[in-house]
């Protein structure tokens, strides 16, 4: 097994049969099919025997003489009159890093993302602060000099005129958001690439520096960029196809049709985005190509769509709340500093002064430095969790972490 940083170690043996440059291994479709592999790789029996009794806790010492058939040992019933649960049940899962090596709960996934920030705070904050500062400075310049003034809208317009104004406003908004979206895409590219490597190391309990993480992530930047560009383009194309018939028809009936088509398109987009939500970790950690990473994500998500959707939605909600908690005080301060708040209620971003933009962007930098690692961490740990559930990845992780009792069997 390749034990190089990043996850060529536990992630280099994809289960969908493609040639990844390493000898293929059969992959079970779920954890139940991996039970035979689990049983063959258990630690020695002596390490799984019940713990010795602690004096003073009311547990009698073992009787003298050779152990009888009812005196403990793994797989044997307890002595008559003893505590049935003493020494029984599954042993605690190994935890070499930020998560236990077993199927994870929602709280453990979120805690793993936060624990990664604490364990590697220099690397994480060094990356996120640098990316956030650069992107927010560029965002200030875009808002100040490149964003067009919004078109004027007649509130009394009806019929075709109202529809035309709505589409003009939508087009102006999309054009105004395009530079911001490009900046966000670039920032997400670097943060996702490097933090995925950091999280893969933290799962194994290994230290990592920003230089090491960057060296590991740099060869995967181009495929990751293609993935991050492809998904928004796909979503935009689907929504455009959904609203196009209504836009061509026009009139009130066309507006209703465009609304229904757009709603149906949004549902399809959400379904596809969840299907492909694990593509970035698969691309980074398994060295997969663009198309293969999409297929890999769809395979891992199959049968767990609602669970992944719920965890992703919860993460988005939490990061939004954190961003708002941080942004609101900076927005209020910026409003008070910038002409007493007149520009805040003017309805035009072009009236915002430099003090307001600078102060609010400082809040955005702080919020991004906190929310970026959480979002990237949850995505990577969801990928780990799905592979543990479906492919018994915890065994490979335990071997990669050099845990005792999980050595590679000799052929």
Residue 265 has pLDDT above 90, yes or no: yes
Residue 305 has pLDDT above 70, yes or no: yes
Tokens of 30: 């779920």
Question: 73-76 long-range contacts, Cβ below 8 Å, gap at least 24?
Answer: 73/45, 73/49, 74/45, 74/48, 74/49
Helix-, strand-, coil-residue percentages of the chain, each rounded to 5: 65, 0, 35
Give the burial class of 397: count Cβ atoms within 10 A of its Cβ; 0-12 exposed, 13-18 middle, 19 or more buried. Answer: buried
Give pLDDT, residue 155.
62
Distance in angstroms (rounded) separating the CA atoms of residues 280 and 229: 12
Res. 255 pLDDT band, cuts 50 70 90 = confident
Give pLDDT, residue 334.
87
Residues in the chain: 411
- pLDDT tens string 16-45: 444 444 334 444 444 444 443 444 444 444
Residue 323 has pLDDT above 80, yes or no: yes
Give pLDDT, residue 385.
96
Res. 383 pLDDT band, cuts 50 70 90 = very high
Tokens of 220: 């995967």
- pLDDT tens string 147-175: 666 666 666 666 666 666 666 666 666 66
Q: pTM of whole model > 0.85?
A: no
Do 203 and 120 touch, CB atoms closer than 8 A?
A: no
How many alpha carbons lie under 13 Å from residue 78 in its C-beta half-sphere? 12
Which residue matches tokens 């087009």?
A: 171
């Amino acid at each position: 097994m390749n034990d190089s940083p990043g996850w060529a170690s536990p992630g280099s043996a994809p289960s969908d049969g493609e040639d990844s440059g390493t000898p293929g291994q059969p992959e079970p479709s779920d954890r139940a099919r991996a039970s035979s592999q689990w049983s063959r790789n258990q630690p020695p029996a002596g390490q799984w025997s019940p713990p010795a009794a602690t004096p003073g806790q009311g547990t009698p010492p073992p009787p003298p003489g050779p152990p009888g058939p009812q005196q403990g040992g793994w797989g044997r019933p307890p002595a008559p009159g003893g505590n049935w649960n003493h020494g029984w049940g599954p042993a605690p899962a190994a935890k070499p890093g930020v998560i236990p090596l077993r199927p994870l709960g929602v709280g453990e996934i979120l805690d793993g993302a936060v624990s990664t920030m604490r364990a590697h705070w220099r690397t994480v904050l060094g990356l996120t602060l640098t990316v956030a500062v650069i992107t927010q400075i560029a965002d200030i310049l875009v808002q100040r000099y490149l964003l067009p003034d919004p078109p004027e809208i007649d509130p009394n317009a009806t019929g075709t005129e109202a529809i035309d104004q709505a589409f003009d406003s939508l087009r102006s908004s999309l054009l105004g958001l395009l530079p911001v979206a490009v900046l966000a895409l670039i920032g997400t590219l670097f943060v996702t690439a490097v933090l995925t490597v950091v999280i893969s190391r933290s799962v194994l309990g290994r230290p990592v520096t920003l230089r090491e993480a960057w060296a590991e992530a740099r060869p995967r930047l181009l495929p990751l960029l293609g993935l991050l560009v492809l998904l928004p383009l796909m979503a935009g194309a689907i929504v455009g196809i959904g609203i196009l018939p209504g836009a061509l028809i026009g009139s009130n009936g066309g507006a209703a049709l465009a609304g229904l088509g757009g709603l149906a398109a949004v549902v399809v987009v959400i379904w596809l985005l969840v299907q492909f939500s694990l593509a970035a970790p698969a691309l980074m950690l398994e060295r997969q190509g663009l198309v293969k990473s999409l297929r890999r994500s769809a395979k891992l998500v199959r049968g767990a769509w609602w669970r992944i959707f719920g965890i992703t939605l919860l993460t988005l909600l939490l990061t939004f709340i954190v961003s708002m908690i941080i942004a609101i005080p900076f927005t209020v301060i910026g409003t008070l500093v910038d002409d007493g708040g007149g520009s805040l209620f003017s309805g035009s971003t072009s009236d915002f002064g430099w003090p307001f933009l600078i102060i609010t962007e400082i809040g955005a930098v702080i919020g991004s430095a906190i929310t970026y690692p959480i979002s990237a961490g949850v995505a990577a740990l969801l990928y780990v969790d799905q592979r543990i559930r479906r492919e018994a990845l915890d065994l490979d992780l335990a071997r990669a972490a050099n845990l005792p009792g999980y050595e590679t069997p000799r052929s």
